[in-house]
Amino acid sequence: MTFFFQNLINALQWGSFYALIALGYSMVYGILMLFNFAHGDIFMVGAYIGFGVATGVTALASFGAIVLPKWLILVLTIIISMFLTSFVGMLVERLGYRPLREAPRASAAITGLMIGIILETGNLALLGAQRVRFPTLIKSETYNISGVFVTNKKIMIVVVSLMLMLALHQFVRRTKWGMAMRAMAFDFVVVPLMGVPINTIAAMTFAIGSALAAAAGILFGVAYPVLDPYMGIVFGWKAFVAAILGGRGSILGATLAGFLLGFLEIFVAMIFPSTLRDLIAYSIILLILTFRPHGFFGEPYSARLRL
Protein backbone atom coordinates (compact mmCIF):
# COMPACT_ATOMS: atom_id res chain seq x y z
CA MET A 1 0.00 0.00 0.00
CA THR A 2 2.81 2.42 0.82
CA PHE A 3 4.18 1.49 -2.56
CA PHE A 4 0.98 2.60 -4.19
CA PHE A 5 0.80 5.84 -2.26
CA GLN A 6 4.40 6.62 -3.00
CA ASN A 7 3.67 6.31 -6.69
CA LEU A 8 0.51 8.32 -6.31
CA ILE A 9 2.51 11.20 -4.86
CA ASN A 10 5.07 10.88 -7.64
CA ALA A 11 2.39 10.85 -10.28
CA LEU A 12 0.72 13.92 -8.82
CA GLN A 13 3.91 15.87 -9.17
CA TRP A 14 4.64 14.61 -12.67
CA GLY A 15 1.08 15.17 -13.80
CA SER A 16 1.17 18.79 -12.57
CA PHE A 17 3.73 19.65 -15.20
CA TYR A 18 1.80 18.04 -17.99
CA ALA A 19 -1.37 19.71 -16.81
CA LEU A 20 0.16 23.17 -16.56
CA ILE A 21 1.70 22.98 -20.01
CA ALA A 22 -1.37 21.37 -21.52
CA LEU A 23 -3.47 24.26 -20.18
CA GLY A 24 -1.59 26.82 -22.22
CA TYR A 25 -1.85 24.56 -25.21
CA SER A 26 -5.50 24.00 -24.70
CA MET A 27 -6.34 27.69 -24.35
CA VAL A 28 -4.68 28.65 -27.61
CA TYR A 29 -6.19 25.62 -29.22
CA GLY A 30 -9.66 26.34 -27.92
CA ILE A 31 -9.75 29.96 -28.88
CA LEU A 32 -7.75 30.17 -32.07
CA MET A 33 -8.03 26.54 -33.17
CA LEU A 34 -4.25 26.44 -33.51
CA PHE A 35 -1.74 23.80 -32.65
CA ASN A 36 0.82 25.93 -30.91
CA PHE A 37 3.79 23.65 -31.42
CA ALA A 38 6.11 26.29 -30.05
CA HIS A 39 4.53 25.92 -26.63
CA GLY A 40 7.00 23.30 -25.41
CA ASP A 41 9.82 25.63 -26.26
CA ILE A 42 8.11 28.53 -24.56
CA PHE A 43 8.13 26.30 -21.50
CA MET A 44 11.88 25.93 -22.01
CA VAL A 45 12.33 29.68 -22.43
CA GLY A 46 10.28 30.22 -19.29
CA ALA A 47 12.53 27.89 -17.35
CA TYR A 48 15.61 29.71 -18.60
CA ILE A 49 14.13 33.11 -17.83
CA GLY A 50 13.32 31.77 -14.39
CA PHE A 51 16.90 30.65 -14.07
CA GLY A 52 18.12 34.12 -15.01
CA VAL A 53 15.73 35.88 -12.66
CA ALA A 54 16.47 33.55 -9.77
CA THR A 55 20.20 33.94 -10.24
CA GLY A 56 19.82 37.70 -10.50
CA VAL A 57 17.66 38.07 -7.42
CA THR A 58 19.85 35.71 -5.42
CA ALA A 59 22.90 37.70 -6.43
CA LEU A 60 21.22 40.94 -5.38
CA ALA A 61 20.26 39.40 -2.08
CA SER A 62 23.73 38.07 -1.46
CA PHE A 63 25.27 41.47 -2.10
CA GLY A 64 23.11 42.69 0.69
CA ALA A 65 21.14 45.07 -1.43
CA ILE A 66 17.97 43.43 -0.24
CA VAL A 67 17.34 40.89 2.45
CA LEU A 68 14.99 38.18 1.34
CA PRO A 69 14.12 34.73 2.56
CA LYS A 70 14.55 32.00 -0.04
CA TRP A 71 10.87 31.26 -0.47
CA LEU A 72 10.20 34.89 -1.24
CA ILE A 73 12.86 34.74 -3.92
CA LEU A 74 11.04 31.79 -5.42
CA VAL A 75 7.73 33.62 -5.37
CA LEU A 76 9.35 36.67 -6.93
CA THR A 77 11.01 34.51 -9.55
CA ILE A 78 7.75 32.89 -10.49
CA ILE A 79 5.92 36.19 -10.78
CA ILE A 80 8.64 38.05 -12.68
CA SER A 81 9.28 35.16 -15.05
CA MET A 82 5.60 34.65 -15.74
CA PHE A 83 5.40 38.31 -16.61
CA LEU A 84 8.47 38.23 -18.87
CA THR A 85 7.56 34.99 -20.59
CA SER A 86 4.09 36.25 -21.38
CA PHE A 87 5.81 38.81 -23.60
CA VAL A 88 7.66 36.05 -25.36
CA GLY A 89 4.31 34.39 -25.98
CA MET A 90 2.78 37.57 -27.33
CA LEU A 91 5.78 38.09 -29.58
CA VAL A 92 5.41 34.60 -30.96
CA GLU A 93 1.74 35.25 -31.61
CA ARG A 94 2.39 38.59 -33.27
CA LEU A 95 5.19 37.40 -35.54
CA GLY A 96 4.29 33.82 -36.20
CA TYR A 97 0.57 33.35 -35.90
CA ARG A 98 -1.22 36.60 -36.55
CA PRO A 99 -0.11 36.83 -40.19
CA LEU A 100 -1.46 33.33 -40.62
CA ARG A 101 -4.84 33.72 -39.07
CA GLU A 102 -6.65 33.25 -42.35
CA ALA A 103 -4.32 30.49 -43.54
CA PRO A 104 -4.94 26.77 -43.14
CA ARG A 105 -4.37 25.76 -39.57
CA ALA A 106 -1.75 23.23 -40.50
CA SER A 107 0.42 26.01 -41.94
CA ALA A 108 0.25 27.81 -38.64
CA ALA A 109 1.23 24.57 -36.94
CA ILE A 110 4.33 24.41 -39.10
CA THR A 111 5.17 28.00 -38.21
CA GLY A 112 4.91 27.03 -34.57
CA LEU A 113 7.19 24.08 -35.09
CA MET A 114 9.72 26.32 -36.78
CA ILE A 115 9.52 29.01 -34.08
CA GLY A 116 10.23 26.23 -31.63
CA ILE A 117 13.36 25.22 -33.52
CA ILE A 118 14.48 28.84 -33.65
CA LEU A 119 14.00 29.21 -29.89
CA GLU A 120 15.99 26.03 -29.23
CA THR A 121 18.83 26.90 -31.59
CA GLY A 122 18.84 30.51 -30.48
CA ASN A 123 19.27 29.38 -26.91
CA LEU A 124 22.05 27.02 -27.94
CA ALA A 125 23.82 29.76 -29.87
CA LEU A 126 23.42 32.30 -27.07
CA LEU A 127 24.21 30.27 -24.00
CA GLY A 128 26.32 27.48 -25.44
CA ALA A 129 25.90 23.80 -24.98
CA GLN A 130 26.39 23.91 -21.24
CA ARG A 131 23.40 22.64 -19.33
CA VAL A 132 22.54 24.93 -16.49
CA ARG A 133 21.62 24.05 -12.95
CA PHE A 134 18.59 25.76 -11.57
CA PRO A 135 19.57 27.43 -8.27
CA THR A 136 18.34 25.74 -5.12
CA LEU A 137 15.70 28.06 -3.85
CA ILE A 138 14.06 25.86 -1.26
CA LYS A 139 15.94 23.44 0.85
CA SER A 140 14.68 19.98 0.24
CA GLU A 141 13.14 18.36 3.29
CA THR A 142 11.90 14.81 3.22
CA TYR A 143 9.04 13.72 5.45
CA ASN A 144 8.53 10.05 6.08
CA ILE A 145 4.82 9.45 6.53
CA SER A 146 4.66 5.78 7.50
CA GLY A 147 6.91 4.66 4.69
CA VAL A 148 5.80 7.15 2.07
CA PHE A 149 8.43 9.75 1.34
CA VAL A 150 7.14 13.20 0.62
CA THR A 151 9.30 16.24 0.09
CA ASN A 152 8.30 19.81 0.72
CA LYS A 153 9.07 20.49 -2.95
CA LYS A 154 6.51 17.99 -4.12
CA ILE A 155 3.83 19.49 -1.92
CA MET A 156 4.75 22.98 -3.04
CA ILE A 157 4.66 22.03 -6.74
CA VAL A 158 1.29 20.35 -6.58
CA VAL A 159 -0.22 23.13 -4.48
CA VAL A 160 1.15 25.94 -6.63
CA SER A 161 0.02 24.33 -9.85
CA LEU A 162 -3.44 23.62 -8.50
CA MET A 163 -3.66 27.23 -7.37
CA LEU A 164 -2.68 28.46 -10.80
CA MET A 165 -5.25 26.23 -12.44
CA LEU A 166 -7.92 27.45 -10.08
CA ALA A 167 -6.92 31.06 -10.74
CA LEU A 168 -7.19 30.48 -14.46
CA HIS A 169 -10.57 28.86 -14.04
CA GLN A 170 -11.83 31.82 -12.03
CA PHE A 171 -10.41 34.23 -14.57
CA VAL A 172 -12.14 32.56 -17.44
CA ARG A 173 -15.43 32.13 -15.58
CA ARG A 174 -15.67 35.41 -13.71
CA THR A 175 -14.08 38.23 -15.68
CA LYS A 176 -15.18 40.05 -18.76
CA TRP A 177 -12.03 39.04 -20.58
CA GLY A 178 -12.66 35.46 -19.69
CA MET A 179 -16.13 35.77 -21.09
CA ALA A 180 -14.71 37.17 -24.31
CA MET A 181 -12.37 34.22 -24.52
CA ARG A 182 -15.16 31.75 -24.02
CA ALA A 183 -17.21 33.50 -26.64
CA MET A 184 -14.34 33.37 -29.05
CA ALA A 185 -13.88 29.70 -28.40
CA PHE A 186 -17.57 29.22 -29.10
CA ASP A 187 -17.52 30.96 -32.45
CA PHE A 188 -14.37 32.24 -34.00
CA VAL A 189 -16.04 34.01 -36.91
CA VAL A 190 -19.09 35.74 -35.57
CA VAL A 191 -17.88 36.87 -32.16
CA PRO A 192 -15.27 39.31 -33.51
CA LEU A 193 -18.06 40.92 -35.51
CA MET A 194 -19.87 41.63 -32.26
CA GLY A 195 -17.10 43.98 -31.19
CA VAL A 196 -14.83 41.62 -29.31
CA PRO A 197 -11.26 42.63 -30.19
CA ILE A 198 -9.83 39.48 -31.63
CA ASN A 199 -6.21 40.62 -31.63
CA THR A 200 -6.26 41.60 -27.99
CA ILE A 201 -7.91 38.35 -27.01
CA ALA A 202 -5.47 36.31 -29.05
CA ALA A 203 -2.48 38.11 -27.55
CA MET A 204 -3.93 37.67 -24.11
CA THR A 205 -4.49 33.99 -24.64
CA PHE A 206 -0.92 33.54 -25.67
CA ALA A 207 0.29 35.66 -22.76
CA ILE A 208 -1.65 33.59 -20.22
CA GLY A 209 -0.62 30.31 -21.78
CA SER A 210 3.02 31.34 -21.83
CA ALA A 211 2.87 32.58 -18.27
CA LEU A 212 1.54 29.20 -17.18
CA ALA A 213 4.30 27.50 -19.15
CA ALA A 214 6.85 29.72 -17.42
CA ALA A 215 5.43 28.74 -14.05
CA ALA A 216 5.68 25.12 -15.08
CA GLY A 217 9.26 25.73 -16.21
CA ILE A 218 10.27 27.16 -12.86
CA LEU A 219 8.54 24.44 -10.89
CA PHE A 220 10.28 21.97 -13.17
CA GLY A 221 13.56 23.67 -12.39
CA VAL A 222 12.87 23.33 -8.69
CA ALA A 223 12.06 19.64 -8.97
CA TYR A 224 14.52 18.60 -11.68
CA PRO A 225 17.21 21.25 -11.62
CA VAL A 226 18.85 20.49 -14.96
CA LEU A 227 17.90 22.72 -17.87
CA ASP A 228 18.89 22.22 -21.48
CA PRO A 229 17.75 23.87 -24.70
CA TYR A 230 15.93 20.80 -25.96
CA MET A 231 14.00 20.00 -22.81
CA GLY A 232 10.77 21.44 -24.18
CA ILE A 233 10.34 19.19 -27.20
CA VAL A 234 9.08 16.02 -25.58
CA PHE A 235 7.04 18.01 -23.06
CA GLY A 236 5.51 20.02 -25.84
CA TRP A 237 4.34 17.00 -27.81
CA LYS A 238 3.08 15.16 -24.77
CA ALA A 239 1.22 18.21 -23.56
CA PHE A 240 -0.27 18.40 -27.05
CA VAL A 241 -1.59 14.89 -26.52
CA ALA A 242 -2.98 15.88 -23.13
CA ALA A 243 -4.56 19.10 -24.38
CA ILE A 244 -6.46 17.39 -27.14
CA LEU A 245 -7.29 14.35 -25.07
CA GLY A 246 -9.00 16.72 -22.67
CA GLY A 247 -11.27 18.01 -25.35
CA ARG A 248 -11.15 21.22 -27.27
CA GLY A 249 -10.42 24.25 -25.16
CA SER A 250 -11.70 22.67 -22.00
CA ILE A 251 -9.66 23.82 -19.00
CA LEU A 252 -10.97 21.05 -16.81
CA GLY A 253 -10.34 18.54 -19.58
CA ALA A 254 -6.75 19.64 -20.14
CA THR A 255 -6.03 19.53 -16.43
CA LEU A 256 -7.52 16.08 -16.06
CA ALA A 257 -5.80 14.77 -19.18
CA GLY A 258 -2.48 16.19 -18.03
CA PHE A 259 -2.78 14.40 -14.73
CA LEU A 260 -3.99 11.28 -16.49
CA LEU A 261 -0.92 11.26 -18.70
CA GLY A 262 1.32 11.68 -15.66
CA PHE A 263 -0.49 8.88 -13.82
CA LEU A 264 -0.33 6.62 -16.86
CA GLU A 265 3.39 7.06 -17.28
CA ILE A 266 4.15 6.54 -13.61
CA PHE A 267 1.78 3.66 -12.98
CA VAL A 268 2.59 1.75 -16.13
CA ALA A 269 6.23 1.89 -15.07
CA MET A 270 5.16 0.70 -11.62
CA ILE A 271 3.20 -2.35 -12.75
CA PHE A 272 4.96 -3.44 -15.91
CA PRO A 273 8.64 -3.57 -16.71
CA SER A 274 9.55 0.06 -17.12
CA THR A 275 10.99 -0.67 -20.55
CA LEU A 276 7.48 -0.97 -21.90
CA ARG A 277 6.27 2.31 -20.45
CA ASP A 278 5.78 4.31 -23.64
CA LEU A 279 4.42 1.32 -25.47
CA ILE A 280 1.69 0.63 -22.94
CA ALA A 281 0.95 4.20 -21.91
CA TYR A 282 0.37 5.34 -25.47
CA SER A 283 -1.52 2.23 -26.42
CA ILE A 284 -3.93 3.10 -23.63
CA ILE A 285 -4.32 6.60 -25.00
CA LEU A 286 -4.91 5.18 -28.45
CA LEU A 287 -7.61 2.93 -27.03
CA ILE A 288 -9.23 5.78 -25.14
CA LEU A 289 -9.41 7.79 -28.33
CA THR A 290 -10.76 4.88 -30.29
CA PHE A 291 -13.68 4.62 -27.93
CA ARG A 292 -14.04 8.27 -27.03
CA PRO A 293 -13.08 9.86 -30.33
CA HIS A 294 -13.61 13.41 -29.12
CA GLY A 295 -11.62 13.37 -25.92
CA PHE A 296 -13.14 13.82 -22.49
CA PHE A 297 -15.03 17.06 -22.88
CA GLY A 298 -14.83 17.80 -26.57
CA GLU A 299 -17.78 18.23 -28.85
CA PRO A 300 -17.87 16.28 -32.09
CA TYR A 301 -18.48 19.23 -34.36
CA SER A 302 -15.40 21.09 -33.25
CA ALA A 303 -13.08 18.50 -34.66
CA ARG A 304 -13.27 19.87 -38.15
CA LEU A 305 -10.11 21.15 -39.71
CA ARG A 306 -10.17 24.39 -41.59
CA LEU A 307 -8.61 23.04 -44.78
Partner 1 sequence: MRKSWVFIISCIVISLIFIPSAWCKTKTIKIGINAPMTGDIPKVGEGTKYAAEMWLEDVKAAGGIAVGGKKYPVKLVIEDNESKAESAVKVNTKMITEDEVLVIVGPQASKQAIPAGEVANNYKTPMISPWSTNPDTTKDRPYVFRGCFLDPFQGPVLANFIKGEFGFTKAAVLYDVASDYPKGLAEFFKQAWEKLNGPGSVVAFESFTTKDADFSSQLTKIIKSGAQVLFTPQYYNEVALIVQQAHELGWNKPIVGSDSWGSAETVQLCGKDCYGLFFSTHYAAAGAKGKTKEFIDRYNKKYGYVPDDVAALTWDSLGIVKTAIEHVGKLTGNIEKDRKNVRDAMAKVKEYDGITGKMTFTEDGDPIKCAVIVRISNKGEYEFYKSVCP
Partner 2 sequence: MNEEYGKIIGITHSIKRKARSLFSEVPLLGWLFGMLIAVILERYVGEALAESLGLSKIPMLFGVVMMLKNPLMIPSTVLYLFTIFVLPISVVARLISGPANRVAAKLLDLPILISVIIHIGLLYAVLYLWSEASAYRVLTLKLTLIAVILTLSLNVVNGYMGEFSCSHPGFMALGAYAASVFTVVLFVDDKLFGHALLPAALAPFMFPIALIIGGIVAAFGALVIAIPSFRTRGDYLAIISLAFMFIVKSMIENLEVVGGPRGLSSQPDLASLPTVFIWTVACIWVTNNFVRSTMGKALNAVRDDEVAANAMTVNTRRTKITAFLFAAFWAGVAGGLFAHVLRYVNPGTFGLQKLAEVLAMVYFGGLNSVYGSIVGGVSLSMLGEALRPLEIFKWIIIPLLLILIMIYRPTGLVAFKEFNVGKLVMPKNKSDQRKSDGAASG
Of 57, 223, 55, nearest in space to 138 by CA: 223
Q: Are 257 and 243 in contact (CB under 8 A)?
A: yes
Q: Are 168 and 208 in contact (CB under 8 A)?
A: yes
- Is 277 a binding residue for partner 1 by CB under 8 A? The answer is yes
Residues numbered 199 to 258 that lie near partner 1 (CB under 8 A) are 220, 223-226, 228-231, 233-234
What span, in angstroms and rounded, lies between the C-alpha atoms of 70 and 67?
10
Query: Which of partner 2, partner 1, none lies near 295, with the C-beta cut-off 5 to 8 A by kind?
Result: partner 2
Q: How many angstroms separate the Cα of 90 from the Cα of each of 6, 87, 230?
A: 39, 5, 21
Residue type, 80: I
Of 305, 306, 5, 307, nearest in space to 154 by CA: 5
Least distance CB 113 / partner 2 (angstroms): 5
Binding mask 131-170 for partner 1 (x = CB under 8 A): x-x--x---x-x-x----x-x-x-----------------
Torsion of the alpha carbons at 229, 235, 240 and 242, rounded to the nearest 10: -160
Least distance CB 273 / partner 1 (angstroms): 8
Stretch that binds partner 2, among 83-91, 104-112, 172-180, 187-195 (CB under 8 A): 104-112
Cβ nearer to partner 1, comparing 153 with 248: 153
What span, in angstroms and rounded, lies between the C-alpha atoms of 11 and 242?
15
- Is 279 a binding residue for partner 2 by CB under 8 A? The answer is yes
Footprint of partner 1 (CB under 8 A): 3, 6-7, 10-11, 13-14, 121, 124, 128-131, 133, 136, 140, 142, 144, 149, 151, 153, 220, 223-226, 228-231, 233-234, 265-267, 269-270, 273-275, 277-278
